[in-house]
Amino acid sequence: MNPHESIILHLLHVAAALVLMGYTFYAFAAAPETRKRVLIWTGGASLVMLLTGLRMWQGLYGFAPAGWLIVKLICWLGLSALAGIAYRKRGKAGLLAGVALILAVTAVAMVYVKPF
Ligand code: HEM
């Protein structure tokens, strides 16, 4: 992978993570009629994260089955589901926000520490 593509992929990946996190936290307190619009944003951001992540996994690591990547995939799956759950479980917003934070911090820690 050339350096330009690598930078663009990293940038898109992190930008999508910011959009996903922002709209997920918004979903915890947003009015019910915002559901469709918010889920379009979180769904789009989540897809961009997955596609850029997969391309970086291929281009930088040749799809080597690294533990830290599997953990990131699990965090991504959880985070992607949270906005939809937030609209249905209003009473659990505090708990869900805590889960979102833990998943996001774990996913970021995996990239920089790569413990396994
Ligand atoms: C909760 C979801 C995720 C978060 C918050 C997240 C966050 C990040 C961050 C902050 C970086 C570092 C960017 C940089 O150093 O410029 C990164 C890189 C990366 N992510 Fe993710 N990511 C997530 C999901 C995924 C998924 C699902 C995959 C794989 C399919 C993935 C694969 C990668 C790869 C391969 C890199 C590049 C690592 C490197 O440069 O050595 N990420 N991610």
pLDDT, one tens digit per residue, over 17-27 is 999 999 999 99
Q: How far apart are CA 78 and CA 82, in angstroms?
A: 6
Ligand 1 within 6 A of 96 CB?
A: no
57 lines ligand 1 (CB under 6 A): yes
Q: In 6-60, where do the E strands start and end?
A: none
Q: How far is the CA of 108 from the centre of ligand 1 (A)?
A: 7
Cα 13 to ligand 1 centre (Å): 7
Atom of ligand 1 nearest to the CA of 56: 35
The 10s digit of each residue's pLDDT in 84-106 is 999 999 999 999 999 999 999 99
**Which of the 8 DSSP states describes residue 52?**
H
The reported pLDDT for the residue numbered 41 is 98
In 3D space, the residue among 100, 97, 105, 78 whose CA is nearest the CA of residue 29 turns out to be 97
> pLDDT tens, 29-68?
999 999 999 999 999 999 999 999 999 999 999 999 999 9
Q: Is the CB of 82 under 6 A from ligand 1?
A: no
Q: State residue 98's pLDDT score.
A: 98
